[in-house]
Structures are given as C-alpha cells and as structure tokens.
A and B are shown apart, each in its own frame.
Chain A
Amino acid sequence: MAKHVRISQLQKLTSRPCHLIHPSSPTASFRCFSVLNRPTPNYEGHLPLTRTERIGLALGSGLGSFLDPRRGDLIASFGEATAQPYFIYKLRDRMLLSPTGRRILRDRPRLSSTSLDIPRLRNLAPNTVGYAYAAWLDREGVSPDTRAAVKYIDDEECAYTMQRYRECHDFYHTLVGLPVFREGEVALKAFEFANTGLPMTGLAVFSAFTLKKAEWRRFWDIYGPWATRNGAQSDDVINIYWEEELETDIDQLRARLGIEKPPDLRAMRKAEREARKKEKEASETMARAAV
C-alpha cells in the first residue's frame, strides 16, 4: 500500500504548482519556465511541465504502473510523459497523411457511452463492429467513460491525438478480440506499439516478464509474433473513424486493415484449464487404479 501513497504524492507534487501559480502575464512566463513560473496552458486542462518534471513523472508513473497494472491513471500519465517530444508528433503526422485521419483531426469526435449510444449498438446485427463492441464491453464489464483527459501533452492537436488513441483503446480490444486481463493487455500493447509507435505501449510489453509461465509461453509463441506482425503490416488503427464504422461488418473491417484475428484467448485458457483438470483426474484415476 505504501508505494501507492508515494506515487500519488509525487503526482500531487508535480501538479500542485500549476494549479496554484498560474502565470499572471504571458510575457513573463515566456522568459523563464520553471516550477514557479509556468506558461499559460495551450488548451483547457493542459499542465505544462518542465523537463525535470516530465522525467520525474515518467519514472514515477512508469514504476507505479509496472507494480500495479490496474492503475489506469498512472498508465495514462506514463503514456503522456513518454510520448513527447517525438512520438506523439509522429503519430499525429501519420493521421495527417491519411484522408480519414485528417477528417478525425478536423472533426475531433469524442467517444463516450452517450455519443456511442450503447443500447442502440446492442440491437445492431451480430456481425457489426458496433454489436461486437457493445458485446465486448458487456463481457469485460467496462465502460467507455473511464478515460482520463490528456493534460501533459503540450501541442493541442497532439493532445487530441493522445485522447483519441486512449478512447479508441477499447475498440482495438474489440477489433482483435483480446480480453482486458494482463495477458490480453500485454498482447494488445505489443500490437499497439507496432502500430502506433507510442513508447508507453512498447514499455508496457515489458510487463510480460510478470506473466505466469504458461502465459509467458503463449505470449512468446502465439500472441507476441501475432502482435508484431499484424501491428506493423496493418493500416494505422488510429485512422479508423469508429463512429462511422459501427455498422460495418467486423470481418470486412479486419480484412480492409489487414488484421488477422488472433486465437480466442479466453477460449484457449478455458480449454487449457479443462485439459489440466482432465489430466489431474486421469492421473488420480491412474493412482487409484495402481493402488
């Protein structure tokens, strides 16, 4: 428990000054950017960080999310702290090179349960993206409204790119059909890293070392190779206008993007569990028979 306290303290430490000391004049803030003198935010909710703060945030949130991968807020901060200065611009540029990506940047749609109208999605045909998404949300018991707002990315357009990536994360789950527990997340993060190039997703793959032996073997043999191959070969998933694809056939969408669906992880785990159980039973019978 102690580690969580420490990390949340760190977060408070980095974010407190910008709430308290907002620069009074933009010219003064321009001259000297320090903890005591922050420039005006570039967009609503923006917290400009100094370089030291950024490094501190990256280390602190990185360590925190490694130790407890359920801390979504820390993963989000880690993602933002490591995406700048280079990677988020590259991802934004990839969006700018695609007509759909440009349209997303222009419209700046936000994904939430209200904007998506989840009950309507449940009534769509079962082969559609929208139905699969709603079914996936129900199966995993998550909601699209839990995504935190971006605050540490300096460029407002890149901040939106980060926000979009984050909000679409559940759609990526649906697209590849991977569940939210650690093993599925690691495989999806590997896919995302190969596809988006965001460092957070790549570093998150290192949590594969914390997997159990059987999970690790599955990742190494099946999901890892699948993720890198598909992530690198398929079109950029950030450039999918999900709001317009809700009624598309999900297999058609996968084919269009060039993504092969990986084997069903939940089914595989279940089968393995059952196999183990059967084996155990068999050995027990054998033992009894031997006796």
Chain B
Amino acid sequence: MPPRISLRQARKLPPRSAVWVRAQPQRRFASSSADAPDVYDVVCVGGGPAGLSLLTGLKASPITRGLKVALIEGQDLQKTRLPRDASLETFSNRCSSLTPASVRNLQEIGAWAHVNTPRVQPYQEMQVWDGVTDARISFDWHTAKPLLSPRNPAQPTTIAYMIENLNTVTALLSRLEQLGGVDFYTSTKVNSIDLGADTEKMDFSSWPILTLSNGKRLAARLLVGADGANSPVRTFADIESRGFDYGRHGVVASLKLAGQGWGGPDHKIAYQRFLPTGPIAMLPLPGNKSTLVWSTTPERAAKLKTLSQNDFVAMVNAGFRLSPTDLEYLHTLPSGQEEEVAWREEHTPVNERAIPMQVADVQAGTVVSFPLRMRHADTYTSERVALVGDAAHTIHPLAGQGLNQGQGDAAALVRTISHAVQTGQDIGSTLALESYTSERYAENNAMLGVCDKLHRLYSVESGPLVGLRSLGLRAVDAMGPLKALFMSRAAGGS
C-alpha cells in the first residue's frame, strides 16, 4: 500500500489563487488530460534558506541548469520580502550567524551579491564565559594561531556574519528570479503526497505525486524536503527522526545597545554566557543594534515575554551581569525587575568591558520564543526523496550552526545531483543520492553531538564538574593552536 499523508492544516486555509511564475515554456511529458500530473525533475517543498539555496545552486550551475524544477511554499514569498530601502532602525528578530563557508557558497551561486549589505554585520571576536564560575574563553583569529609562527596577515579576521534570515531568503529569491527557470507555487500548500501509478504512458509507481491546494498535481523525479522540523516529506518517505526536546525555549529579541560596542564599528564582538538554565547570547548587528538569543526554561521564557519593555531590558542586562541566584529570584517577580536589577548591579562587581554594553531598548513586538529540540533523521535520502536543513536535523542554537548546516546540505545535494546528471544516472535513484547522505550525515551528527554535550555540560549548577569544565575552558583558551582548530571547525572549514 502506498504511504499517503494528508495535511490537515492545509485544509483550514482558505483557497487562494496560486502565484505561478512560468519562466520558460513548459515541456510536455504526459498527455494534457486533467488527471495526468506535471512531471518535474526536482520538486522542492519549502522556500526557506535551505530550499532556496538548493534551487539557486541547481540553476546557477551549467550542468544542472536544464533540470525542470518547481518550488512549493505555503507563504507568499513576495510579501515577506525585505525591502531594498528597509530602515536600519529596525531589525527582524530571526537572525543567523553565517559562517565564512556558508558565505563562500552563497558567493559561488551568485546570491551574495543580492544581499542587502548594510544590514549584514561581520564580527571579529567572540567572548564566551561560564555564568557560575566566570571562566572565560575568547575567540579571535589573533590569539588563535599556530604555535611559534606569526599570524598570516592575509587570513581574514572575520569569524562569522550576522544576517537576518529574511535578508538571506530575499537575496536567494532575487538571484533565483535573475536565473529564471523555476516554477514557483507560492501561497500553496501540499495537500497530499502519494506514490504514482503505472500508467500506459509512464511508470510512476516509484514517483511521489504531490497534490497541491490549488488542485495541481506534480510528479517528482526527486522530491526535496526543505519543509522544516515537522517535515511532511520526511513523513511521506517514512524516515524516522529521532531526538528529544530540550525542555528549553529560545527567547529572541531585537535590541538597541548604549553604543556601537567596546571594539567600535570595525571590531564587533559576539557574547555568550552559559547560565545553568541555558546560554544567553548577544550578537552584533549594524550600528548599535544587537540580536538576543536566550535559551531558558519554558516558564522563564513565558515570564520574560510578559514583562514590560523596561523590565525586559533590565532582565537582559541582568542575564549578562548578575549571579544565577539573582536571576532565579528576578524571574519570580511579577514586575519591578528594573529597580531590583539596578540595586543588584551596585553589589555585583563586573568588568563592564568584558561583557556587552548595557541594553538601552528593545524593539517593540520582537520578543518571541520557540521550543528547542534536537532531532536527527535516520537517513537523508530514500527512493526519490532527499531531505535538507531542518527537515533532516534540528540543533541547539548555542553554536549558531542550524542555518549553516542547511546551507551545507544544499551545497552537497547540488554536487550530488550534478554528478548524477554528468554520469547520466537517474537523479532520484537511491544509488545516485547515496553520496549526499554519506557526505553530510557524519558531519552533521558530530556537530549535533558537540552542541548537545555542551548544553548538558553547562546545565550543571554545582559540584566537581563545574570546576573541571572551568579548568578545561581556561586550558583551551590558553592553547592557541587547539583554539584555532575549534574555530576553523565552527567556521565550516576542515
């Protein structure tokens, strides 16, 4: 029996007319009768950074340019686009840290030129410390260098680039429109995915057939699931995704700081403090803006969201300055955190230059939270199906690797498809797709494991482990070459 799933949430939506951009004359495979599906080489479900990066990669390469591809996205991508002249006073609360490797990939596929550059903030230094013991490690390419040899001046000093996810998506979309040749089905849901039948004209029995909310039916030689953590494509392919909930929520917000940062506009610093409830991170955006990612318990996240703007600002400042004990008490107050934090700051000695500048304001309506999960699909491919990005894996945000992993997946899948095209294989066959899983699975799994262990290590509040982890952190901080190794791994290099 063919697996069949129906998408309940899709039915709830009022039927909207699909935006269907037809950029090149459609080739006809089957007869034009109503029940025959349109046949595509690649159908990508999900127009997020990973899916768009995949399609752009396919269209940018001369080898795969000829493939017939379609994108299905539930939202109207034109509506959510970042305007070219968007004000630098407001920033989206969903930002990501793009590693140099991800940026290189975006440059190669020609999307980086479409990025709204004034809204991107490279940073050169990272300060990470233990909220219980204050043991600290700093990452910058000056202190992390091979033993006994001077730093190579040609080596870039940037650790990563802070960018709004919207900016990435808009740039990819612009590049994709420039390249052309993609059938966009936006504001369109997938109602169901079934296996096709053996018809007279063509044997679709191993092909996924998608029924869209606008009544269209598409047959996919390769169906790509870039449809997020609850991937319907993964469910269709019957791929198990294993993992657990962290019991933590990530609270994000767009913040305005008292100044440009301690390093000035040309040397930006990212900060992360490990609290027993989870890490709190402040990442630089252009000017005096910053973005917050605070992993904390669901109860505390809910409390933070109910606070007034002034109290929320005080809590963020407290998160980088005050003791875990004070934070525990502050979360029990219904209001008045601002005053309480001001008193505690008088009695808590901190080196102001080692922590982010005081937060001055929070952009209204940007305080939201989402649950943190760790999931990893058993495999990324099956017959005529491949998974990329969050559909394949979700990760704790403490190392800012989620979006970068998706970009890595997309680039690897483009390479796999292009190899299959070059060698004349069926791009949907498990054999052709095999190299994609083998290239990405172990690497993603290692990163998932490292972030998970770090989360566990720093959840401990007291005991000998606290002393040991502080000792280890200080030791790594003192060992330049080892630090350089970690940094290059986190930067997406090898």
- List chain A positions with a Cβ less than 8 A from chain B: 93, 96-97, 102, 105-106, 156-157
Return the 7 tightest CB-CB contacts between A and B, nearest first: A93-B325, A157-B347, A96-B325, A97-B329, A96-B326, A96-B329, A97-B325
Query: For B347, what are the chain A residues with a Cβ–Cβ distance below 8 Å?
Result: 105, 156-157
Q: Which of B323, B329, B343 is the most central at the interface, judged by chain A CB atoms within 10 Å of its CB?
A: B329
- Provide the main secondary structure of the chain B interface: helix
Give bound CA distance, A147 to B325, whole Å: 29
B328 at the interface (CB under 8 A from A): yes
A99 to B, closest residue via Cβ: B329
B329-360 interface mask toward A, CB cutoff 8 Å, 1 = contact, 0 = none? 10000000000000100010000000000000
Q: Shortest beta-carbon distance, B318 to chain A, in Å?
A: 12
Q: Shortest beta-carbon distance, A1 to chain B, in Å?
A: 44
Q: Which of A93, A96, A102, A105 is the most central at the interface, judged by chain B CB atoms within 10 Å of its CB?
A: A96
Q: Shortest beta-carbon distance, A194 to chain B, in Å?
A: 19
- List chain B positions with a Cβ less than 8 A from chain A: 323, 325-326, 328-329, 343, 347
Give bound CA distance, A97 to B347, whole Å: 15
A96 to B, closest residue via Cβ: B325
Number of A-B pairs, beta carbon distance below 8 Å: 14
B348 to A, closest residue via Cβ: A157
Give bound CA distance, A106 to B325, whole Å: 16
Give bound CA distance, A105 to B344, whole Å: 10
Q: Shortest beta-carbon distance, B323 to chain A, in Å?
A: 7
Give bound CA distance, A97 to B343, whole Å: 15
Give bound CA distance, A164 to B343, whole Å: 19
Q: Shortest beta-carbon distance, B466 to chain A, in Å?
A: 12
Q: Shortest beta-carbon distance, A226 to chain B, in Å?
A: 29
Q: Shortest beta-carbon distance, A193 to chain B, in Å?
A: 19
Give bound CA distance, A106 to B333, whole Å: 16
Give bound CA distance, A157 to B328, whole Å: 19
Q: Shortest beta-carbon distance, B327 to chain A, in Å?
A: 10
Give bound CA distance, A97 to B326, whole Å: 7
Give bound CA distance, A156 to B325, whole Å: 17
Query: For A105, what are the chain B residues with a Cβ–Cβ distance below 8 Å?
Result: 347
Q: Shortest beta-carbon distance, A152 to chain B, in Å?
A: 18
B343 to A, closest residue via Cβ: A106
Q: Shortest beta-carbon distance, B339 to chain A, in Å?
A: 11
A-B contact list, 13 entries, CB within 8 Å: A93-B323, A93-B325, A96-B323, A96-B325, A96-B326, A96-B329, A97-B325, A97-B328, A97-B329, A102-B329, A106-B343, A156-B347, A157-B347
Q: Shortest beta-carbon distance, A63 to chain B, in Å?
A: 30
B325 to A, closest residue via Cβ: A93
Give bound CA distance, A96 to B347, whole Å: 12
Q: Shortest beta-carbon distance, B467 to chain A, in Å?
A: 11
Beyond the given pairs A93-B323, A96-B329, 12 more chain A to chain B contacts, judged by CB atoms under 8 angstroms and listed by A's residue number, are A93-B325, A96-B323, A96-B325, A96-B326, A97-B325, A97-B328, A97-B329, A102-B329, A105-B347, A106-B343, A156-B347, A157-B347
